Chains A and B, each alone.
Chain A
Amino acid sequence: MKVYIEKLDQFKEVDAKTVKELLKKLEINPTTVIVTVNDELVTDEVKIKENDEIKLLSVISGG
């Protein structure tokens, strides 16, 4: 599945069954992003499917 990573402004192809697994495969610390699936904010436990639109939005911003 395609995942948009805001910090990099890039899409990456990853195969995962849950958000938690997805972050682990991308080596992204879960405390540094919020995850939306089809524009809905979700927790790490949520299951994901091939056609879901997944975005990883960075929680870090300069002041």
Chain B
Amino acid sequence: MACDKCFEKPVIKVTGSENSFCKACFFKYFEKKVKKTITKYNLIEKNDHIIVAVSGGKDSTVLLNLLVKVLKGRDDVKITALAIDEGIKGYRDKSLEHIKKICEDLKVELKLFSYEKEFGKSLDEILKTYKGIPCSVCGVFRRYLLNKKSKEIGGNKLATGHNMDDEAQTILMNNFRNNIKVSARMGPITGIISDKRFIKRIKPLYFLTEKEITSYAYLKGLMDKFNECPHDSDSYRAQVRDMLNDFEAKYEGTKNGIITAFLEILPLLKKHYKEEEFDEIQNCKICEEPCSGEICKACTFVEKVIKN
């Protein structure tokens, strides 16, 4: 078997097609896909200040490298990296060291915020008393800080390393839980309405699988030892991910099928939920961040889980 483009030795067979690529042709395929996503969905515009959410994991490391590469020579677009230290000993402390080095090498400014400083306790401390699902509290705090801090830094868009696997999992999870309204905010560029309280999120890796991103990271020498979060196996997402991977192995192209079908109906979902969404957004009475009730979820967790 040889590379479909140049007959060199292949390193990867890409998902959802019969194409196998050698290292050089895979880089071209990968980078072209990212550029096409950026262009097709208008992810980056003139004078943007892009905040790149980085964790030190492979997705955000690849994302930051690619955005720096794609935006080289664009003096009108600024990039700042933003990392959140949840306080998970043996996991996040290691990956943060990796991202600090990557940002130094790429000459990108890194802004670091921690749960301990922002909310009063690290995740490890919180979990000593909180007996719920770790991802519930962690996800709320992380999303809250990403939105709030991106705005404070002066960004107008937040780029995340979400990939095809993440998106296909979320689509299924929202369907299984009858949460279609949440799906209306998804896609390569998020949001239903334009509201300055919410930073627009962009996902340049949207059409690439986790396997393709890991392969790219390996071939580019961007791999650190990307550990799995120790709380990951507790999550509903992990179960959906395993199920979806089993399905993908049996019926290749499943993940691609899920997101392609979803993107077909997304305009209808956005239209359907637009007015309802606009009416519901309020400002949290404690922190003034946007939320659907009187008190935002982050402040609710702080009151219930940290102060008690």
Interface residues of A (CB under 8 A from B): 6-7, 29-32, 34, 36, 40-45, 57-63
Contact = CB atoms under 8 A, between A and B. Distances in A.
Contacts of B213: 59
A40 B11 CA distance: 8
Contact of A61 (B15, B57, B209, B215): B57
B228 A58 contact: yes
22 contacts: A29-B245, A30-B249, A31-B209, A32-B211, A34-B211, A34-B214, A34-B218, A41-B219, A43-B1, A43-B12, A43-B13, A57-B214, A57-B223, A58-B226, A60-B241, A61-B226, A62-B55, A62-B57, A62-B91, A62-B231, A63-B60, A63-B161
Contacts of B23: 41
Contact of B1 (A30, A45, A62, A63): A45
Contact of A62 (B215, B225, B229): B229
Interface residues of B, number: 36
Interface of B: 1, 10-13, 15, 20, 23, 55, 57-60, 91, 161, 209-211, 213-215, 218-219, 223, 225-229, 231-232, 241, 245-246, 248-249
A17 B241 CA distance: 29
Contacts of B13: 43-44
A25 to B, nearest CB: 15
Contact of B245 (A32, A40, A42): A32
Contact of B58 (A6, A29, A30, A61): A61
Nearest to A45: B1
Contact of A59 (B214, B229, B246): B214
A42 B11 contact: yes
B10 A31 contact: no
Contacts of A58: 214, 226, 228
